[in-house]
Amino acid sequence: MPEAAYHLGTELGRAVNRMDFFRLFKALALGQGFQHFVLFEVGGEDEGINLRNPHVLHNLPDSLIDAAGGRPLGAGDELLAACKPSTAAYGVAPGAGASRILDAIGAATMIAVPLHTVAARRYCLMMLGDRGLPEHETLAVVALDAALIFQRYHDAILSLDSISGLNDREIQIVRWTSEGKTSAEIAIILGLSEHTVNSYIATVLRKLHVVNRAQMVASALRSGLIA
Amino acid sequence: MTTGQTEYPLKILLVDDDPAEHLLLRRTLEKVDGPPIELEYVADIESAVECVKGGGIDMVFLDNRLVPNNDFRETAPQLRHAGFIGPIGIISSDISGSYFQEFPEFGVDFRINKNEIDRAAISFIIAEYTRNQLSDNCAEDFS
């Protein structure tokens, strides 16, 4: 049995935030000899990887990201296009010049694992590196590990967008926002970081289908989430 | 590296009673591409509290067990009580203890094993915890 599953013990069940999932996907990639990974949502068009999507995870080199200049990564790249019609994991070792992404990071091999949420949103985990193509058995284990991590990622992070209702912490933050407190002030009051407070606000905005704090407070008042 | 609201250079405070960790982290940070990072170092939580009270610290890497404290559950809240609202990451050579699951309740943003800290992990941490998660139309003043 390949060693890919070594980290899927307690660490998987304990993962709660994006940092934890970054660690898990990175361990999966490195454990199989791949230097880089990127988990991204597969769009309908050939628009590349939108690194600004809040659910993207990757350890791509900064030089590649800086070169993209905020634009989607790999638009028109054949390597990316190949993952759209695929529903099974596969690996490729294209020749030099066949993929700008591989060339840019000096990788020779890529494997792609298509992933799906229960709401039929499509994601893909790509691993890139300079090792050879894995055997089918190894690819199967990687695909299973990736699916298990992704399922946990969905349960802990992605599904928050579709869960109705707010948890106690979110209600606290909406309530303080309705009192006119800023994120920094709420962070001090609740003993959290400003990043965490903004993360809660971003989640509440998505849950309530609103785009700013005023709408968030108004929506919460109207629906009786806060008095 | 995705940048958010933070003005560079980013100032990271390492709190660890083992000076060797300071040297190791400094060497790792030197390998990170992108905007400059300044590393401050203190060996105990009292010095860390004074440091964050002085201002200018953007992020704290806090060793889990600082003698004579037990673990982060005793130390991280002291930084929050001092008014620090930047990200706090707990670093440890062993993060398998079940009590680590409580980290969000103690004002901690993330935990990471010391042997996982490399250039890629630092880049991710900085991108993740300095990015602006809210759009421009989500300004603070909405009255």
Q: Which residues of B touch A176 (CB under 8 A)?
A: none
Query: If DSSP codes are grouped into helix, strand and coil, which group holds residue A58?
Result: strand
Look-up: residue for tokens 């990451």?
A: B89
In A, residues 189-208, which contact B (CB 8 Å cutoff)?
191-196, 198-199, 201-202, 205
Q: Which residues of B110-135 are buried (b: 16+ CB within 10 A; e: fewer)?
A: bbbbbebbebbbbbbbbbbbbbebbe
pLDDT of residue B139: 67
Look-up: residue for tokens 């994120």?
A: A183
Phi first, then psi: what are they for B52, rounded to 5°? Answer: -75, -30
In contact, B84 and B112? CB cutoff 8 Å:
no
pLDDT of residue B2: 38
Measure in Å the smallest separation between the Cα of B5 and chain A Cα atoms. Answer: 11
Strand partners, B10: B37
pLDDT of residue A80: 81
pLDDT band at residue B137 under the 50/70/90 scheme: confident
Query: If DSSP codes are grouped into helix, strand and coil, which group holds residue A158?
Result: helix
Helix axes A194-208, A168-178, angle to 10 degrees: 100
pLDDT for B133 beyond 80:
no
pLDDT band at residue A198 under the 50/70/90 scheme: very high
Report pLDDT digits (tens) over A1-52.
Answer: 344 445 566 788 889 999 999 999 999 999 999 999 999 998 776 678 888 7
pLDDT of residue B87: 98
Phi first, then psi: what are they for A205, rounded to 5°? Answer: -60, -45
Measure in Å the smallest separation between the Cα of A211 and chain B Cα atoms. Answer: 7
Report pLDDT digits (tens) over A93-147.
Answer: 877 667 778 888 888 899 999 999 888 889 999 999 988 899 999 999 999 999 9
pLDDT of residue B26: 96
Give the strand pairing for B110-113 and B88-92. parallel
pLDDT of residue A7: 54
Cα separation of B15 and A181, whole Å?
30
Report pLDDT digits (tens) over A160-193.
Answer: 777 677 889 999 999 999 999 999 999 999 999 9
pLDDT of residue B1: 40
Report pLDDT digits (tens) over B77-90.
Answer: 999 999 999 999 99
Q: Which residues of A187-196 are buried (b: 16+ CB within 10 A; e: fewer)?
A: bbebbbbbbb
pLDDT of residue A139: 94
Lowest mean pLDDT among A88-97, B70-79, B112-121, B134-143: B134-143
Domains of chain A: 3-161 (3.30.450.80), 168-222 (1.10.10.10)
- Across the A/B interface, how many CB contacts are shorter than 8 Å? 106
C-beta atoms surrounding A38 within 10 Å = 22
Residue type, B130: T
* Sheet-wide strand order for A57-58: A57-58, A36-41, A122-129, A109-116, A90-92
Omega of the bond leading into B36 within 30 degrees of 0 (cis): no
Measured CA distances, B105 to A85, A138, A153 (Å): 43, 39, 20
Lowest mean pLDDT among A50-64, A69-83, B76-90: A69-83
Residue of A22, A47, A55 lying closest to A37 (CA atoms):
A22
pLDDT of residue B141: 60
ipTM of the shown complex: 0.84
In B, residues 5-64, which contact A (CB 8 Å cutoff)?
32-34
Omega of the bond leading into A85 within 30 degrees of 0 (cis): no
Q: Which residues of A touch B128 (CB under 8 A)?
A: 18-19, 22
pLDDT of residue A227: 75
Measure in Å the smallest separation between the Cα of B19 and chain A Cα atoms. Answer: 25
Closest-CA residue of chain B to A30 = B116
Domains of chain B: 10-126 (3.40.50.2300)
Measure in Å the smallest separation between the Cα of B28 and chain A Cα atoms. Answer: 15
Closest-CA residue of chain B to A177 = B140
Q: What pTM value is reported for the model?
A: 0.84
pLDDT for B68 beyond 80:
yes
Tokens of B114: 């010391």
Contact A211 B138 (CB under 8 A): yes
pLDDT of residue A49: 85
Contact B86 A61 (CB under 8 A): no
In contact, A138 and A90? CB cutoff 8 Å:
no
